[in-house]
Amino acid sequence: MLLGKPSDISSSEITPRDDYFRYLSRRRFLKGMAATGAAALGADRLAQFAVPQAVHAETRLQTVKSPLTTTGEQLTSYYDITHYNNFYEFGVDKSDPAKNAGGLPTRPWTVKVEGKVAKPLTFDIDDLLKLRPLEDRVYRHRCVEAWSMVIPWVGYSLSEFIKQCNPLPSAKYVQFLSYFNPKVEKWSYEDATIYWPYSEGLRMDEAMNPLTLLTFGLYGETLPNQDGAPVRIVLPWKYGFKSAKSIVKVRFLSKQPRTTWNDQAPNEYGFYANVNPNVDHPRWSQKTERRIGQPFYAQRRTTLMFNGYSDQVAYLYKGMDLRRDF
Protein backbone atom coordinates (compact mmCIF):
# COMPACT_ATOMS: atom_id res chain seq x y z
CA MET A 1 0.00 0.00 0.00
CA LEU A 2 1.35 3.38 -0.95
CA LEU A 3 1.09 6.07 1.64
CA GLY A 4 0.81 9.31 -0.18
CA LYS A 5 -2.16 11.38 -1.11
CA PRO A 6 -2.98 11.14 -4.79
CA SER A 7 -2.69 14.94 -4.77
CA ASP A 8 0.95 14.56 -3.66
CA ILE A 9 1.71 12.72 -6.81
CA SER A 10 -0.38 14.74 -9.20
CA SER A 11 0.91 14.68 -12.70
CA SER A 12 1.25 18.38 -13.13
CA GLU A 13 3.64 18.96 -10.24
CA ILE A 14 7.26 19.72 -10.93
CA THR A 15 9.29 16.83 -9.62
CA PRO A 16 12.95 17.61 -9.95
CA ARG A 17 15.12 15.00 -8.38
CA ASP A 18 15.56 16.59 -4.96
CA ASP A 19 11.87 17.21 -4.53
CA TYR A 20 11.22 13.72 -5.63
CA PHE A 21 13.47 12.23 -2.98
CA ARG A 22 12.01 14.51 -0.33
CA TYR A 23 8.65 13.18 -1.39
CA LEU A 24 9.88 9.59 -1.26
CA SER A 25 11.42 9.85 2.19
CA ARG A 26 8.25 11.45 3.46
CA ARG A 27 6.33 8.56 1.97
CA ARG A 28 8.66 6.07 3.65
CA PHE A 29 8.32 7.92 6.93
CA LEU A 30 4.57 7.67 6.68
CA LYS A 31 4.86 3.99 5.83
CA GLY A 32 6.90 3.50 9.00
CA MET A 33 4.29 5.38 10.96
CA ALA A 34 1.62 3.10 9.60
CA ALA A 35 3.59 0.06 10.75
CA THR A 36 4.28 1.34 14.27
CA GLY A 37 2.49 4.30 15.76
CA ALA A 38 -0.33 4.54 13.29
CA ALA A 39 -3.04 4.48 15.92
CA ALA A 40 -1.71 7.73 17.32
CA LEU A 41 -2.54 9.50 14.09
CA GLY A 42 -6.05 8.16 13.88
CA ALA A 43 -7.32 5.79 11.26
CA ASP A 44 -9.43 8.44 9.60
CA ARG A 45 -6.40 10.63 9.04
CA LEU A 46 -4.40 7.75 7.60
CA ALA A 47 -7.17 6.60 5.31
CA GLN A 48 -6.68 9.63 3.12
CA PHE A 49 -3.17 8.41 2.29
CA ALA A 50 -4.25 4.98 1.16
CA VAL A 51 -4.39 4.33 -2.55
CA PRO A 52 -4.18 0.75 -3.79
CA GLN A 53 -0.70 0.09 -5.12
CA ALA A 54 2.11 -2.38 -4.54
CA VAL A 55 4.74 -1.59 -1.91
CA HIS A 56 7.42 0.63 -3.37
CA ALA A 57 10.28 -1.86 -3.74
CA GLU A 58 12.82 0.09 -5.79
CA THR A 59 16.32 0.77 -4.52
CA ARG A 60 18.37 3.93 -4.87
CA LEU A 61 21.16 3.91 -7.46
CA GLN A 62 24.44 5.78 -7.33
CA THR A 63 24.37 8.11 -10.30
CA VAL A 64 26.39 10.82 -12.00
CA LYS A 65 25.36 13.79 -14.14
CA SER A 66 25.24 13.32 -17.89
CA PRO A 67 26.12 15.79 -20.66
CA LEU A 68 23.54 13.97 -22.79
CA THR A 69 20.58 14.84 -20.61
CA THR A 70 17.66 16.82 -22.08
CA THR A 71 17.12 20.20 -20.43
CA GLY A 72 14.24 22.63 -20.30
CA GLU A 73 11.46 20.09 -19.91
CA GLN A 74 9.16 19.53 -16.98
CA LEU A 75 9.50 15.94 -15.79
CA THR A 76 6.48 13.69 -15.95
CA SER A 77 5.49 12.55 -12.46
CA TYR A 78 6.76 9.27 -11.08
CA TYR A 79 3.16 8.19 -10.69
CA ASP A 80 2.33 8.67 -14.37
CA ILE A 81 5.58 7.07 -15.57
CA THR A 82 4.81 3.97 -13.52
CA HIS A 83 1.03 3.76 -14.03
CA TYR A 84 0.57 4.61 -17.68
CA ASN A 85 2.53 1.87 -19.44
CA ASN A 86 2.71 -0.24 -22.54
CA PHE A 87 3.98 -3.73 -21.67
CA TYR A 88 1.74 -6.09 -23.56
CA GLU A 89 3.10 -9.21 -21.88
CA PHE A 90 1.20 -7.96 -18.81
CA GLY A 91 -1.99 -6.79 -20.49
CA VAL A 92 -3.15 -4.31 -23.08
CA ASP A 93 -4.56 -1.52 -20.89
CA LYS A 94 -2.26 1.28 -19.73
CA SER A 95 -2.99 0.40 -16.09
CA ASP A 96 -2.36 -3.34 -16.52
CA PRO A 97 1.46 -3.47 -16.23
CA ALA A 98 1.45 -1.72 -12.83
CA LYS A 99 -1.10 -4.25 -11.59
CA ASN A 100 0.27 -7.40 -13.21
CA ALA A 101 4.06 -7.11 -13.50
CA GLY A 102 4.76 -7.67 -9.80
CA GLY A 103 5.66 -11.33 -10.38
CA LEU A 104 8.38 -10.62 -12.94
CA PRO A 105 11.44 -12.34 -11.40
CA THR A 106 14.19 -9.74 -11.73
CA ARG A 107 16.83 -11.65 -9.69
CA PRO A 108 18.75 -13.68 -10.62
CA TRP A 109 18.83 -12.13 -14.10
CA THR A 110 21.26 -12.60 -16.93
CA VAL A 111 21.62 -11.08 -20.37
CA LYS A 112 22.88 -13.55 -22.96
CA VAL A 113 24.90 -12.30 -25.91
CA GLU A 114 25.02 -14.41 -29.06
CA GLY A 115 25.36 -14.35 -32.84
CA LYS A 116 28.12 -12.48 -34.65
CA VAL A 117 30.43 -12.07 -31.66
CA ALA A 118 33.93 -13.38 -30.93
CA LYS A 119 32.33 -15.75 -28.43
CA PRO A 120 28.90 -16.00 -26.78
CA LEU A 121 28.76 -14.31 -23.37
CA THR A 122 26.44 -14.14 -20.39
CA PHE A 123 26.29 -11.01 -18.23
CA ASP A 124 24.85 -10.99 -14.74
CA ILE A 125 22.63 -7.98 -14.04
CA ASP A 126 24.66 -6.99 -10.99
CA ASP A 127 27.82 -6.92 -13.10
CA LEU A 128 26.07 -4.87 -15.77
CA LEU A 129 25.09 -2.33 -13.14
CA LYS A 130 28.78 -1.86 -12.32
CA LEU A 131 30.16 -1.89 -15.86
CA ARG A 132 30.06 1.90 -16.26
CA PRO A 133 29.00 4.87 -14.09
CA LEU A 134 25.22 5.16 -14.10
CA GLU A 135 24.11 8.48 -15.58
CA ASP A 136 20.94 10.47 -14.97
CA ARG A 137 19.52 11.10 -18.41
CA VAL A 138 16.31 12.97 -18.97
CA TYR A 139 14.76 12.08 -22.33
CA ARG A 140 11.55 12.88 -24.07
CA HIS A 141 9.55 9.72 -24.69
CA ARG A 142 7.17 9.68 -27.66
CA CYS A 143 4.85 6.73 -28.16
CA VAL A 144 3.59 5.92 -31.65
CA GLU A 145 0.10 6.36 -30.17
CA ALA A 146 0.72 10.15 -30.12
CA TRP A 147 1.29 10.70 -26.42
CA SER A 148 4.53 11.68 -24.73
CA MET A 149 6.33 11.98 -21.41
CA VAL A 150 9.62 13.33 -20.08
CA ILE A 151 11.45 10.64 -18.13
CA PRO A 152 14.61 10.86 -16.00
CA TRP A 153 16.21 7.52 -16.88
CA VAL A 154 19.33 6.00 -15.29
CA GLY A 155 21.85 4.08 -17.37
CA TYR A 156 24.84 4.32 -19.67
CA SER A 157 25.29 4.31 -23.43
CA LEU A 158 24.60 0.93 -24.99
CA SER A 159 27.86 1.39 -26.94
CA GLU A 160 29.78 0.80 -23.69
CA PHE A 161 28.10 -2.57 -23.37
CA ILE A 162 28.56 -3.43 -27.05
CA LYS A 163 32.31 -2.84 -26.75
CA GLN A 164 32.39 -5.58 -24.09
CA CYS A 165 30.60 -7.96 -26.47
CA ASN A 166 33.33 -7.95 -29.16
CA PRO A 167 31.00 -8.00 -32.18
CA LEU A 168 32.47 -9.27 -35.45
CA PRO A 169 32.69 -7.00 -38.53
CA SER A 170 29.81 -9.04 -39.99
CA ALA A 171 27.51 -7.77 -37.20
CA LYS A 172 25.31 -5.18 -38.94
CA TYR A 173 22.24 -5.31 -36.66
CA VAL A 174 21.48 -5.84 -33.00
CA GLN A 175 18.35 -7.61 -31.76
CA PHE A 176 16.92 -7.32 -28.24
CA LEU A 177 14.66 -10.00 -26.83
CA SER A 178 12.49 -9.45 -23.78
CA TYR A 179 11.81 -11.90 -20.98
CA PHE A 180 9.07 -14.27 -22.04
CA ASN A 181 7.33 -16.71 -19.75
CA PRO A 182 3.60 -17.24 -20.36
CA LYS A 183 3.28 -18.56 -16.79
CA VAL A 184 4.32 -15.17 -15.44
CA GLU A 185 2.98 -13.10 -18.33
CA LYS A 186 -0.38 -14.81 -18.70
CA TRP A 187 -1.72 -11.77 -20.48
CA SER A 188 0.55 -12.40 -23.43
CA TYR A 189 -1.96 -15.02 -24.51
CA GLU A 190 -4.61 -12.36 -24.98
CA ASP A 191 -3.31 -11.83 -28.45
CA ALA A 192 -1.70 -15.02 -29.62
CA THR A 193 -0.94 -13.51 -33.01
CA ILE A 194 1.81 -11.28 -31.60
CA TYR A 195 5.37 -12.29 -32.31
CA TRP A 196 6.75 -13.32 -28.89
CA PRO A 197 9.12 -12.94 -27.22
CA TYR A 198 8.97 -9.17 -27.72
CA SER A 199 11.70 -8.45 -30.20
CA GLU A 200 13.25 -5.17 -31.25
CA GLY A 201 16.28 -4.28 -33.29
CA LEU A 202 18.61 -1.57 -34.49
CA ARG A 203 21.18 -1.05 -37.16
CA MET A 204 24.64 -1.27 -35.61
CA ASP A 205 25.37 2.46 -36.06
CA GLU A 206 22.08 3.34 -34.34
CA ALA A 207 22.97 1.02 -31.48
CA MET A 208 26.38 2.67 -31.16
CA ASN A 209 24.97 6.20 -31.07
CA PRO A 210 25.67 7.67 -27.61
CA LEU A 211 21.97 8.51 -27.07
CA THR A 212 21.02 4.83 -27.13
CA LEU A 213 20.69 4.10 -23.45
CA LEU A 214 21.06 0.79 -21.66
CA THR A 215 18.64 1.60 -18.89
CA PHE A 216 18.52 0.31 -15.32
CA GLY A 217 16.48 2.91 -13.51
CA LEU A 218 14.35 6.01 -13.42
CA TYR A 219 14.12 8.88 -10.97
CA GLY A 220 17.42 7.70 -9.44
CA GLU A 221 16.13 4.26 -8.52
CA THR A 222 15.96 0.78 -10.04
CA LEU A 223 13.27 0.34 -12.70
CA PRO A 224 9.86 -0.71 -11.49
CA ASN A 225 8.84 -3.97 -13.18
CA GLN A 226 6.21 -2.25 -15.29
CA ASP A 227 8.87 -0.03 -16.86
CA GLY A 228 11.04 -2.96 -17.91
CA ALA A 229 13.07 -4.10 -14.91
CA PRO A 230 15.81 -4.92 -14.45
CA VAL A 231 17.25 -3.66 -17.76
CA ARG A 232 15.80 -2.20 -20.95
CA ILE A 233 16.77 -0.14 -23.90
CA VAL A 234 15.71 3.50 -24.44
CA LEU A 235 15.80 5.24 -27.83
CA PRO A 236 14.56 8.80 -27.40
CA TRP A 237 14.40 9.66 -31.12
CA LYS A 238 12.27 6.64 -32.02
CA TYR A 239 8.70 5.69 -31.22
CA GLY A 240 8.44 4.00 -27.84
CA PHE A 241 7.88 0.50 -29.15
CA LYS A 242 11.55 0.35 -30.23
CA SER A 243 12.59 0.58 -26.55
CA ALA A 244 12.32 -3.09 -25.54
CA LYS A 245 11.83 -3.86 -21.86
CA SER A 246 13.21 -6.55 -19.53
CA ILE A 247 15.91 -7.70 -21.92
CA VAL A 248 17.31 -11.23 -21.58
CA LYS A 249 19.08 -11.63 -24.90
CA VAL A 250 21.13 -9.47 -27.25
CA ARG A 251 21.88 -10.93 -30.68
CA PHE A 252 24.36 -9.51 -33.16
CA LEU A 253 23.20 -10.27 -36.69
CA SER A 254 24.24 -9.78 -40.29
CA LYS A 255 20.62 -9.24 -41.40
CA GLN A 256 17.75 -7.12 -40.13
CA PRO A 257 15.90 -9.09 -37.44
CA ARG A 258 12.16 -9.68 -37.18
CA THR A 259 10.66 -7.24 -34.72
CA THR A 260 7.36 -7.57 -32.91
CA TRP A 261 5.34 -4.58 -34.10
CA ASN A 262 6.80 -4.50 -37.57
CA ASP A 263 5.84 -8.14 -37.84
CA GLN A 264 2.35 -7.44 -36.53
CA ALA A 265 1.53 -4.60 -38.95
CA PRO A 266 4.38 -3.60 -41.27
CA ASN A 267 2.33 -0.83 -42.85
CA GLU A 268 1.81 0.81 -39.43
CA TYR A 269 5.05 0.14 -37.52
CA GLY A 270 8.32 0.31 -39.38
CA PHE A 271 11.68 -1.12 -38.49
CA TYR A 272 13.27 2.32 -38.15
CA ALA A 273 10.24 4.03 -36.57
CA ASN A 274 11.95 7.39 -36.15
CA VAL A 275 9.67 10.03 -34.64
CA ASN A 276 8.52 12.03 -37.65
CA PRO A 277 5.67 14.58 -37.63
CA ASN A 278 5.57 14.50 -41.44
CA VAL A 279 4.63 10.84 -41.73
CA ASP A 280 1.23 10.05 -40.29
CA HIS A 281 0.35 6.69 -38.89
CA PRO A 282 -2.20 5.20 -41.34
CA ARG A 283 -4.88 5.60 -38.65
CA TRP A 284 -3.93 8.92 -37.00
CA SER A 285 -1.83 12.04 -37.35
CA GLN A 286 1.68 12.21 -35.91
CA LYS A 287 1.89 16.01 -36.15
CA THR A 288 1.00 16.57 -32.50
CA GLU A 289 1.11 14.71 -29.21
CA ARG A 290 -0.59 14.70 -25.82
CA ARG A 291 1.81 15.22 -22.92
CA ILE A 292 0.76 12.79 -20.18
CA GLY A 293 -0.05 14.56 -16.93
CA GLN A 294 -1.24 17.78 -18.52
CA PRO A 295 -4.89 18.67 -17.95
CA PHE A 296 -7.31 17.44 -20.60
CA TYR A 297 -7.81 20.97 -21.91
CA ALA A 298 -4.09 21.59 -22.40
CA GLN A 299 -3.05 22.19 -25.97
CA ARG A 300 -1.42 19.29 -27.79
CA ARG A 301 2.28 19.73 -28.45
CA THR A 302 3.88 19.87 -31.84
CA THR A 303 5.83 16.70 -32.45
CA LEU A 304 9.44 17.35 -33.35
CA MET A 305 11.47 15.59 -36.03
CA PHE A 306 13.46 12.79 -34.37
CA ASN A 307 11.62 13.85 -31.19
CA GLY A 308 13.91 16.90 -31.00
CA TYR A 309 17.16 14.91 -31.23
CA SER A 310 18.03 15.71 -34.88
CA ASP A 311 21.41 17.21 -34.02
CA GLN A 312 22.51 13.93 -32.48
CA VAL A 313 20.96 11.42 -34.88
CA ALA A 314 19.97 12.91 -38.26
CA TYR A 315 23.34 11.89 -39.76
CA LEU A 316 22.35 8.23 -39.36
CA TYR A 317 19.64 8.57 -42.00
CA LYS A 318 21.31 10.77 -44.63
CA GLY A 319 20.13 9.75 -48.07
CA MET A 320 17.40 7.51 -46.68
CA ASP A 321 13.81 8.05 -47.80
CA LEU A 322 11.98 8.65 -44.53
CA ARG A 323 8.60 9.21 -46.15
CA ARG A 324 7.48 5.67 -45.43
CA ASP A 325 9.06 5.32 -42.00
CA PHE A 326 6.28 4.80 -39.46
Contact residues: Mo ion, CB under 5 A: 86, 143, 240-241
What are the E-state strand segments in 158-187? 173-178
80 binds, among ligand MTE, Mo ion, none (CB under 5 to 8 A by kind): none
Indicate which of Mo ion, ligand MTE, none lies near residue 221 (CB less than 5 to 8 Å, by partner kind).
none
Among 11, 76, 77, 86, binds ligand MTE (CB under 6 A): 86
Q: Determine contact, residues 217/223, Cβ cutoff 8 Å.
A: yes
User: Judged by CB, which is closer to ligand MTE: 63, or 76?
Assistant: 76
The site partner of 173 among Mo ion, ligand MTE, none (C-beta below 5 to 8 Å per kind) is: none
Do residues 111 and 125 make contact, with C-beta atoms less than 8 angstroms apart?
A: yes
244 binds, among Mo ion, ligand MTE, none (CB under 5 to 8 A by kind): ligand MTE
Min CB(213)–ligand MTE separation in Å: 12
Rounded to whole angstroms, what are the CA distances from 7 to 45, 75, 77, 101, 135? Answer: 15, 16, 11, 25, 30
In eight-state DSSP terms, residue 189 is G
Residue 123 near which of Mo ion, ligand MTE, none (CB within 5-8 Å, type-dependent): none
Gap between the Cα atoms of 21 and 25, Å rounded = 6
Q: Does 245 bind ligand MTE (CB under 6 A)?
A: yes
- Residue nearest ligand MTE (C-beta atom): 240
- Cβ neighbours of residue 261 under 8 Å, at least 6 residues apart? 241, 268, 269, 273
DSSP string, 150-164: EEEEEEEEHHHHHHH
Identify whether the C-beta of residue 305 lies closer than 8 Å to the C-beta of residue 275: yes
Nearer to Mo ion, 11 or 243 (CB): 243
In the complex with ligand MTE, the residue whose CB is nearer, 123 or 241, is 241
DSSP β-bridge partners for residue 135: 64, 155
Say how far residue 157 (Cα) sits from the centre of its chain.
14
126-155 positions binding ligand MTE, by CB under 6 A: 141, 143
- Beta bridge partners of residue 150, listed in sequence order: 140
Annotate each residue in 175-204 with x if it binds ligand MTE (CB under 6 A) or - if it does not, as one string. Answer: ---x-------------------x------
Given candidates 58, 206, 221, 227, which one binds ligand MTE under the rule CB under 6 A?
227
To ligand MTE, the closest distance from the beta carbon of 310 in angstroms equals 21
237 touching ligand MTE, by CB under 6 A: no
Q: Which of 242, 241, 219, 214 is nearest to 230 (CA)?
A: 214
Say which DSSP state 144 is in: T
* Identity of the residue, 245 or 249, whose beta carbon is nearer to Mo ion in the bound complex: 245
241 vs 251: CA distance, rounded Å? 18
Residues that bind ligand MTE (CB under 6 A): 85-89, 141, 143, 178, 198, 227-228, 240-241, 243-246
